[in-house]
């Protein structure tokens, strides 16, 4: 893999981990790999979204002498991953102090949509 892509992923992962910086240390150690899995899922969801956007939600599939329209093959995987990602994020947010949970929600939304975070 390209070194620039790896550096960008590492920077993005650090930004993602920084969102959970106020998590109590004992919970942070337990949830570190979960945070990394959530980041991985966020990346793959973005990749799938781009492919679905490029190909369309409905695609044509050759079936012998004719073609049929069907849902994009990634739709079911995408929906399953969105559900799992949402569950992980909810679980991670529940381990944060209450005052930080709203800030984390905003930060995650900003990270996912690439918008600046309000201070």
> Cα separation of 55 and 91, whole Å?
33
Question: For residue 109, what are the domain limits?
Answer: 23-113
End-to-end CA distance of the chain: 35
What are residue 62's DSSP bridge partners? 67
Length of the chain: 119
2 within domain boundaries: no
In a domain, 71, yes or no: yes
Query: Does the residue 7 lie in any domain?
Result: no
| Domain count of the fold of the chain | 1
Residue 4 lies in a domain: no
Give the whole-angstrom CA distance, residue 70 versus residue 32. Answer: 39
Domain membership of residue 8 (yes or no) is no
Q: Does the residue 74 lie in any domain?
A: yes
Average pLDDT in the chain: 85
Of the candidates 98, 107, 111, 118, the residue with the CA atom closest to the CA atom of residue 24: 98
CATH number at 107 reads 1.10.287
Question: Quick check: is 30 in a domain?
Answer: yes
Query: Could you read off the pLDDT tens digit of each residue along the chain, which spans 119 residues?
Result: 678 878 888 888 888 888 888 888 888 888 999 999 999 999 999 999 999 999 999 999 888 899 999 999 999 999 999 999 999 999 988 888 776 666 766 777 776 776 554 44
Buried-state track 57-86, b at ≥16 Cβ within 10 A, e below 16: eebeeeeeeeeeeeebebeeebeebeeebe
Q: Which residues contact 61 (CB under 8 A, 6 or more apart)?
A: 67, 68, 69, 70
**Is 40 part of a structural domain of the chain?**
yes
């Amino acid at each position: 893999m390209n070194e620039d892509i790896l550096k960008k992923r590492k920077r993005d992962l650090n930004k993602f981990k920084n969102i959970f910086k106020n998590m109590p240390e004992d919970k942070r150690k337990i949830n570190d790999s979960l945070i990394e899995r959530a980041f991985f899922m966020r990346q793959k969801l973005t990749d799938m979204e781009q492919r679905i956007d490029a190909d369309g939600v409905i695609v044509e599939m050759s079936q012998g002498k004719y073609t049929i329209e069907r849902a994009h093959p990634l739709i079911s995987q995408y929906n399953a991953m969105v559900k799992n990602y949402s569950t992980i994020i909810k679980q991670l947010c529940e381990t944060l102090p209450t005052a930080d949970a709203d800030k984390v929600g905003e930060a995650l939304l900003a990270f996912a949509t690439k918008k600046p975070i309000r201070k």
